[in-house]
Structure 1
Amino acid sequence: MLLPHIIDVYVFLILCCFPLFVVNQYYELLKVKYYFYIGSVIFLLTAALIADTIGQSRLKTYFASFKWKDFIKTFSTIDTALLVFLLIAGISTIRSDYVYESFWGNEGRFSGLFLLSLYGAAYFCVTRLGNFKRWYLDAFLAANLLVCIFGITDYFQLDLLHFKVGMVENEKFMFTSTIGNINTYTALVGMVTAVSAVLFAAEGRWKKKCLYFVSLIISIFALVMGISDNAYLSLAALFGFLPLYLFQNKKGVKAYLLIITSFFSVIQCIDWINTGLGTSVPEIDSAFQIISQSDGLLFLLLLLWILCAFVYGPDFVNAYKKHMSASMQTHIFSGNEYKPTGCRGLQRTWMALLVLCILGVGCALVDVNFQGNAERYGALGSYLLFNDDWGTHRGYIWRNAMECFNQFPLRKKIIGFGPDTFGIVLLNKTKGNIYGQTFDNAHNEYLHYLVTVGFAGLIAYLAFLISFAVRVIRRANKNQYVTAAFFAVLCYSAQAFVNLNLPIATPIMWMLLMLGELGIRENKDYNLCRPV
């Protein structure tokens, strides 16, 4: 059958080639990536149609016994939510005052109806015609570690790719690796970190476990050296929700301890690098400083490494005595499957702590923004206080976006102004602003959808993401590959609160979500995917 191999090629193009593909440095990066994605989806659709025509036609066989009842039963909640989202985006485009701009997204970041339709077409092709392969995520990590390494070398101002030659000096720090803007870069690297962490924690084979650990360390270095605060939203989502998966057994608790220890070790190493190299590297003026300049960081690190030695020491000693790699696998993780062994109490405790933390942050936001007590929170006060200057003028964009949305007639509040027409909506209102900038994106994916495809579109999109999460939790908790894809989507979705929807990192998120859904559909017995 040719169709699964065509899916293999498409997955490889998006997960491995797409992030590294660049023409003419950063000058037309968005267009280059956009056209590459269009070409990849056109290849997928065309090749799939040709393969189905010349081979054993699955389409003919399918439609020969087509029944509406059976057809509808094949649709999951996530499929329905996606179709509703695309339908609303289509209606929003047709009813928009700017149909052409809504369709192509040419007045924004090319995320119009056309690109959304490509996401949808690729989703149904991959989830219906593909076979989930373990090498998908391994290849994703291997290729994107190059993205991370280029980002790290850019941090040291080596510019190995010579992309920054001729660039204005004060803008060089804003662009990195083969991704471009540091916010988009950290969105992608956050997904690499999530996949690395889950696969490291769940892997049973020792050699492969070491490779995932190396990938995790490199990606954390790259994420922090991306000098974007957006990265910490990804890390908060990963570290906050990962225990709900890992704390199913003692092995998972140990893995989480090592992951957290590795993160703080990277932070300390970067602080030493910055102190030693001084102006040779960019100053990280972000949440990094709050962590790295804490008086107790070294003490915390010492304590964490002692705990790691205490919990992992016996495993290594026993494995060494037996002189067998299989013994190491037995002591650290059993086989290739991550098995729950009755640590539900610890999971519930963590869930309670997580809820308390979220409520605490909510109370702090109210205290700072409505009670005026920003000074009470020290350095964190600047992150909690929402004003026009918050988040590099994001506060200004969000305030004006909501004011414009409130002035919409009811129909536009429901279906929006048209996909990716945010810049048109805000053009007159923000003209001549004190920042001297033009705002064509909300820098908040959810607010962006609210303005462009309305309440209905936003709810459908959220239903799409949430239904995927529910399916993973219910059906794939033993499949580390599906779980890794889910955590990548989760980290992207967390950054999306302050980030842009661009055809640079967003296609990667859609691809990983497709693979997660494919893994769920293909493994109804909830076992691991078939070995390649």
Structure 2
Amino acid sequence: MKELNDEIHNVEEKSTFIHILLSAYMVLIGAGLPLVVRNKYFDILVDKYYYYCFLTITLSVLLLGYFIVHIKEKTYVKVFQRLTKTDYFLFAFLIIAGLSTVTSDYVFESFWGNEGRLTGFFLMLWYVVSFFLISKLSRFNKWYIDIIIISGIIVSIFGITDYFKLDIFGFKAPMVDSQKDIFTSTIGNINTYTAYVGMIAAITTVLFSSVQQKKKLIFYYLGMVITFFALIMGTSDNAYLSLGALFAFLPLYLFNNNVGIKRYIAILATFFTVIQIIGLLNRYFGEYVLSIDSFFQLLIGLKGGVGITIGLWLIVVFWHIIEKYKNIGTIDFGKVPQRLWALFLLLCFLIIVYIIFDCNFKGNAGRYGSMASFFVFNDDWGTHRGYIWRNAIECYWHLSPWKKLVGYGPETFGILILQKTANNPYQELFDSAHNEYLHLLTTVGIAGLICYLGFIVNVIKRGINIGRKNAYVMAALYGILCYSIQAIVNLNLPIVTPIFWLLAGISASYYKDK
């Protein structure tokens, strides 16, 4: 193993061209893709799609040419021979997507994804290619993550100005009034925007909780605060899934010592401070800001919210004073606090399952007051997501055994469900399940979904096992986790999803060297 690592490092040291090329690619995707806009919101999906495909294809062609020229250096082959479970799951996913495409009743549409949101087999192929090139050929660098953060902060600030109805670049001026509030920043739809900002919030929060250097601590803290504001001011319900995942799973990383626990409490105090500030802005400047009608409104109106915020800050301050006065350093608590938190999460999960059962099967929704709207699943749930999901599942069960296995064809969801939802009460056309996993189930089948989930699980699992002591790896993994959780109510788009694949490749490039 050491011999192979040495060979890989020797190849990389000689190949300055590869390092420069991959670094440029990661900057252009990680920082450039979220910011690039050509015609405001009118062609934003297509523009970012072409931008991503052009850069990825260019990278692939240049690297292929380089390998052909240096074909005698067999060590390049050995780099790609070193495959992991993550790689096998991804290969299997691509093969199944290919089978789904060629056996689909709509081969052209499956390949290009032109009847949906452009995530056909063609784009899936380049996602997989980019992951392998980054994970196998690049060397992990902290500044890749910092570049992604800086771009995310710029996008978030622009989104915050939209919350104040400023429209500083005139993106919304040509739009009809009914759509102005659901598009923001350089991302577009608020659901897509909060999916992206959720990843940035996770990355900055993990780094704030982990780094020791003062300048970096301040930078990541400011990034965390800005993205907290941006997430809530994005006025999209899927944002609370990203934040919920972050706050729920962060203790599994932090609760092994006193510093981690103190930082976690500081993060909670910061979040509740942001909530209180937004509440004040809405109260006194209501006509100048967008309305928030989501789970966050419950937090803003929470009785005792100010007391909770002050209490959390007092804990942090007194804890810090005591540690400094008594000269207490880092105290290792072992795995006990983390295991206790895991049990707490399991208990919370069981309680939620019971509430869902109680609301939907026992008819006791009235017990839960205003919270019942989050637990009662009907056609109106989640801005008609309940209706889409129900019809999607019914359509899937009527597919042939082969199509249940490999799906109807990538990005053919709209074609599959069109007839069943014609003349629907909402007068809408549905080209996406608004649930990435249900969308994959119907389009690439149960086999494709299992492989995709296996890929995500193994990226996170292997990254945690090997990169636990590297805060930047953990930050990337939490970004992946938050994206994957919010994907339950969101869709896969080439506006944001390339950042997910980029983070997966960057994290894998670290544990490749280990």
**Which TM class, normalised by the smaller chain length?**
over 0.9
SS of aligned partner of 2:429: coil
Corresponding residue number in structure 2 for 1:88 = 96
Aligned to 1:43: 58
| Alignment match, 1:19 | 34
**Cα distance in 2 between the residues matched to 1:454 and 1:484:** 31
Distance between the aligned counterparts of 2:411 and 2:113, measured in 1? 5
**What is the CA deviation profile of residues 415-450 of structure 1, one whole-angstrom value per residue up to 9, with x for unaligned ones?**
000000000001111111111110000000000000
Does the residue aligned with 2:74 lie in a helix, a strand or coil? helix
Would the aligned equivalents of 2:137 and 2:509 in 1 still touch at CA under 8 Å?
A: no
Q: Note if 1:6 corresponds to 2:21.
A: yes
* TM-superposed deviation, 1:109: 0.3
Equivalent pair of 1:78/1:468 in contact (CA under 8 Å) = yes
Partner of 1:422: 413
1:347 maps onto 2:338 in alignment: yes
Residue among 450, 464, 488 paired with 2:441: 450
Cα root mean square deviation, aligned: 1.6
Q: Which residue of 2 aligns with 1:489?
A: 480
In structure 2, the partner of 1:528 is none
**Paired residues of 2:254 and 2:264 also in contact (CA < 8 A):** yes
Map 1:399-414 → 2, pairs under 5 A: 399-414=390-405
How much does 1:62 deviate? 2.1
Equivalent residue number for residue 504 of structure 2: 513
> What aligned pairs does 1:92-131 form with structure 2 within 5 A after superposition?
92-131=100-139
Change (3 A) 1:4 1:370: same
CA contact (8 A) 1:103 1:112 kept: yes
Q: Which residue of 1 aligns with 2:355?
A: 364
2:208 equivalent to 1:174 = no
Equivalent residue number for residue 7 of structure 2: none
- Residue deviations 1:223-252 (CA, integer Å, cap 9, x gap): 000000100000111000000001111110
Residue among 60, 63, 87 paired with 2:72:
60
Q: Tell me if structure 1 keeps the 8 A contact 2:258–2:333.
A: no
Matched, 1:467 2:482: no
Q: Is 1:204 matched up with 2:212? A: yes
Long gaps (5+) in structure 1: 320-329, 334-339, 525-532
C-alpha distance in 2 between matches for 1:434 and 1:71: 52
* 1:188 lines up with 2:196 in the alignment: yes
Amino acid at match of 2:74: Y
Cα deviation digits, residues 391-424 of structure 1 (max 9, x gap): 1100000010011111111111000000000000
Query: How far apart in 1 are the matches of 2:87 and 2:425?
Result: 44
What's the secondary structure of 2:105's corresponding residue?
Answer: coil
Question: How big is the shift at 1:49?
Answer: 2.8
C-alpha distance in 2, partners of 1:207/1:282?
A: 34
Q: Deviations over 1:84-105 (max 9, x none)?
A: 0000000000100000000000
Q: 1:311, 1:49 → 2: CA distance? A: 56
User: Please, which of 31, 41, 49 is the counterpart of residue 34 of structure 1?
Assistant: 49
Of the candidates 154, 157, 176, which is equivalent to residue 149 of structure 1? 157
- Unaligned 5+ segments in structure 2 are 1-15
Letter in 2 for 1:489: I
- Name the structure 2 match of 1:326: none
CA contact (8 A) 1:191 1:492 kept: yes
State how far apart, in whole Å, the 1-side matches of 2:72 and 2:315 are: 60
CA 217–85 in structure 1, closer or farther in 2 if over 3 Å, else same: same
Equivalent residues of 1:3, 1:52 under 8 A apart: no
Which residue of 2 is the match for residue 257 of structure 1? Answer: 265
Instruction: For residue 170 of structure 1, report the CA deviation from its aligned partner.
Output: 1.8
Which whole-Å CA distance do the structure 1 matches of 2:319 and 2:74 have between them? 54
Shift of 1:318: 8.8
Does structure 2 retain, via aligned residues, the 8 Å contact 1:101–1:112? yes
Corresponding residue for residue 431 of structure 2: 440
The equivalences for 1:255-294 within 5 A come to 255-294=263-302
Identity between Structure 1 and Structure 2 (%): 47
3-state DSSP class of the match of 2:351? helix
- What code does the residue aligned with 2:296 have? F
Q: State the secondary structure of the residue aligned to 2:285.
A: helix
Deviation string 1:245-295 (CA, Å, 9 cap, x unpaired) is: 011111100110101111111011000000010121111000011111111
SS state at 2:118 partner: coil
Q: Distance in 1 between matches of 2:440 and 2:64?
A: 32
Matching residue within 298, 302, 305 for 2:310: 302
Q: Give the Cα–Cα distance (whole angstroms) in 1 for the partners of residues 494 and 406 of structure 2.
A: 22
Q: TM-score, normalised by structure 2?
A: 0.94
Letter in 2 for 1:136: Y
* Matching of residues 233-252 of structure 1 within 5 Å: 233-252=241-260
The corresponding residue for 1:527 is none
Q: Deviations over 1:147-205 (max 9, x none)?
A: 00000000000001210012111211100000000000000000000000111111110
Aligned to 1:324: none
Taking the aligned partners of 1:49 and 1:501, their CA distance within structure 2 comes to 28
For residues 287 and 75 of structure 2, what CA distance do their matches in structure 1 show?
Answer: 66
CA spacing shift, 1:71–1:48, aligned 2, 3 Å: closer
Query: Post-superposition shift, 1:135?
Result: 0.4
User: Does the 8 A contact of 1:444 with 1:499 survive in 2?
Assistant: yes
SS in 1 for 2:221: helix
Inter-partner Cα distance in structure 1 for 2:185 and 2:494:
16
Cα distance in 2 between the residues matched to 1:53 and 1:463 = 33
| Aligned residue number for residue 395 of structure 1 | 386
Q: Which amino acid aligns with 2:43?
A: E
Per-residue CA deviation, residues 498-532 of structure 1 (Å, 9 max, x unaligned), is 0010001111011001101111112x1xxxxxxxx
Q: Distance in 1 between matches of 2:90 and 2:36?
A: 28
Give the number of equivalent residue pairs: 499
Letter in 2 for 1:512: L
Secondary structure in structure 2 of the residue aligned to 1:167: coil
Please give the alpha-carbon distance, in whole angstroms, between the structure 2 residues aligned to 1:42 and 1:249: 45
Q: What is the alpha-carbon distance in structure 1 between the residues aligned to residue 190 and residue 324 of structure 2?
A: 40
Measured in 2, the distance between the counterparts of 1:60 and 1:80 equals 27
Q: What aligned pairs does 1:309-348 form with structure 2 within 5 A after superposition?
A: 309-314=317-322, 341-348=332-339
